[in-house]
Amino acid sequence: MLRKEPDRTYADHLDSVASSKQLSSRDSCTEATAGRLARDLSMTFPGVSVVIANQNGKEYLARCLPSLMAQSFQDFEVIVIDNGSSDDSAAFLQENFPAVRLLQNDENRGFAGANNQGIATARGKYIVTLNNDTEVDPDWLRSLVAAADLHPDIGAFASLILLDDKRDVIDSAGLSVSLLGHGCQNRLGETATTVDSSEEVFGVCAAAAMYRKDLFDDVGLFDEDFFAYYEDVDLAWRARLRGWRSMLVPQAVVYHVHSATGGRGSHFKKRMMARNRVWAILKNYPFPGLLLFAPLIIAYEVTVACLGLLSGNPSSWLGLWQGIRGAVAALEKRARIQSGRLVSLRELIPLMCGFREPFSSFLSQRRTGRL
């Protein structure tokens, strides 16, 4: 049975906070006092917390943040976590965007670690993760919140992410997982006009996604061992296994430079992708499917690694080896995840994509220049 989110409004949240502060009875409060209280609480507890991880992305923040501040929906806070930048990102933020809450790290904690820091300090009931190399449509946040308010049974909401340099081409419309355990961006390379209505998806791409805070409370945050890449696929798996559903909101449009921080086609990205894919599969794939498809999964991963070696790039092979070396820790996490599973593989398969998807996804990435 799918988990249902309680239909609790933000006004309910304000009421509970007011009660916890042992406010005087409604009869003894004047209308003016009640109004001031509601405004004060709204400022203390914004409806949405937007979390942005940054490393040496000052030039991208200079474009991302103005588009965010120009939102038609204004009940939100912005938290930027700076991962030891050397390009004066922190000083730039303090001078130009003083309203932004800035968390500074002395070292790079990765996408997962930085976002977890932001989520831990977030005060909104909705948590948005947003890449620094994005530009958001003026009604982006309003569309996400409207969808969340309309669908209290949905735990996560995917933006329609378009390529920044090809603004009619889809970068991501939510994500799925193939039967080989390979994370896939839905509708990659298609034109934006092919998406005209909301639809249920396996999970959401964390480059621009909104989550209910209750989802994180239930399934946990991003796995910091992943550091970067595939952490959103892993979270999508864990949320699905706990019965949380996800939905694409095509009206929530974002333009994405793609791999501005990690580097498009970089050795680092290929290594992280190969390693983290192994861990995501070992942690989350329900046992019947894992046993059934193990030969094909192994064949695929070894083939990708060998093709990389033949082309002079050992990154995928190194990532595969690191994934295997970390298998024990992944399997320990698996025991906890599977013991709390509420959904069977049979229920998940309709939302998964077939065996051909990893290969067609590779071709789409080459065609759109994402490799």
The span from the CA of 316 to the CA of 255, in Å, is 28
What pLDDT, on the 0 to 100 scale, is given for residue 18?
38
Average pLDDT for residues 65-82, to the nearest whole number?
98
Chain mean position to CA 13: 24
Say if CB 183 and CB 230 are below 8 A apart: yes
pLDDT at 105 over 90: yes
Output the CA torsion 89→90→95→96 (10° steps).
50
> Can you give the pTM of this predicted structure?
0.85
Which tens digits make up the pLDDT trace of 314-325?
Answer: 999 999 999 999
Q: How do strand 48-54 and strand 126-130 relate by DSSP bridges?
A: parallel
Say if CB 257 and CB 167 are below 8 A apart: no
**Helices first, then strands: H and E counts in the chain:** 14, 12
Average pLDDT for residues 231-256, to the nearest whole number?
98
Q: Which domains does the chain have, with CATH numbers?
A: 10-42 (no CATH), 43-256 (3.90.550.10), 267-368 (no CATH)
Task: Name the β-bridge partners of 163.
Answer: 166, 256
Q: Which of these ranges, 95-99, 177-181, 263-267, 281-285, has the smallest mean pLDDT?
A: 263-267
What pLDDT, on the 0 to 100 scale, is given for residue 360?
59
The two structure tokens encoding residue 296: 């094909």
The span from the CA of 228 to the CA of 54, in Å, is 12
The two structure tokens encoding residue 226: 């992943």
- Between CA 174 and CA 184, with CA 178 as vertex, the angle to 5 degrees is 35
Closest Cα to residue 75, out of 39, 100, 46, 98? 46
